[in-house]
Amino acid sequence: MRVCFSLNYYGYIGPMQPDALTLLDNPLMLLIVMAVGAAIGIGVDRLVEGQKRAERRAYWKGRNTRPGSKKVVSIIGAKPDRAAPEVDLAADQLRHVMRAKFTARPLLNKGEQRLLTVLDKALAEGSPGWRAMGQVSLGEILASTDKDAYFAVNSKRVDLLIVDAECKPLHAVEFQGKGHHTGENTAARDAVKREALRRAGIGYVEVVSGDTPAEVREMVRKLVGRVGV
């Protein structure tokens, strides 16, 4: 009598069951069972990969449909999901881009353009090493090990940002037009930006539409004085 042993799921080695012996005696049946098992395994792999692909697409769609979103920037201490092939995400984005039409639009509105002109002149006179930049993403100038806190500010922007000669952010300048505070959540969004900047040691000032160039120059003079330049 032939006795065969097999290793079960728990690592126990024991006599093979009669069904297993029957399969060994019938190579055709064994091949069929192996083929069915392989097909099931492939199906499970495809199902898992499909779910991962759907999750990546949903994540990308959610990040890019948030107000003011531009791009996702990696954060300190947070590693991207290496299990999601970046090539699939890039290919999916490319398909969307190739089907869409794009047009260029001004970086700043009229009020912000006038303010930038005044700021540039005031900085050239009071602190030549400083510069003003427009529509800067907070995700580019802030870092945090807290993933939730970082994503709360990542897609937000400041109208203008004053930086020093080494491009270190010094002061955020927000232009408040006549309709700025008419939005439902405007005050809350401003509070989030203001607090994040404060915690990073970056100043936050507001210029309203009625401020004169002289008042803006005086503001710049005070900002320069704070840093001791």
Above 60 in pLDDT, residue 215?
yes
222 is written with which tokens? 């005070």
Task: Report the phi/psi class of residue 77: left, alpha or beta, with left for phi > 0 and alpha for psi in -120 to 50.
Answer: left
pTM of the model: 0.61
70 is written with which tokens? 């531009």
In whole angstroms, what separates CA 37 from the centre of its chain? 41
223 is written with which tokens? 């900002």
Over the chain, what is the mean pLDDT? 80
CATH T-level topology, domain 110-227: Endonuclease; Chain A (3.40.960)
Above 50 in pLDDT, residue 13?
no
pLDDT of 24 reads 57
pLDDT tens, residue by residue, 70-122: 444 444 555 555 545 677 888 899 999 999 999 999 999 999 999 999 999 99
pLDDT of 81 reads 55
Candidate from 63-77, 130-144, 159-173 with smallest mean pLDDT: 63-77
Above 80 in pLDDT, residue 229?
no
Hey, where are the domains in the chain?
13-99, 110-227
| Cβ-based neighbour number of residue 120 at 10 Å | 13
Residues paired with residue 157 on neighbouring β-strands, in sequence order? 137
3-state DSSP call for residue 111? helix
Angle between helix axes 213-227 and 110-126 (nearest 10 degrees) is 50
Asked if residues 192 and 152 have their Cβ atoms less than 8 Å apart, the reply is yes
pLDDT tens, residue by residue, 31-84: 776 777 777 877 777 777 777 767 766 666 665 555 544 444 444 555 555 545
pLDDT tens, residue by residue, 41-55: 777 777 777 777 677
Above 70 in pLDDT, residue 177?
yes
Mean pLDDT, residues 181-196: 86
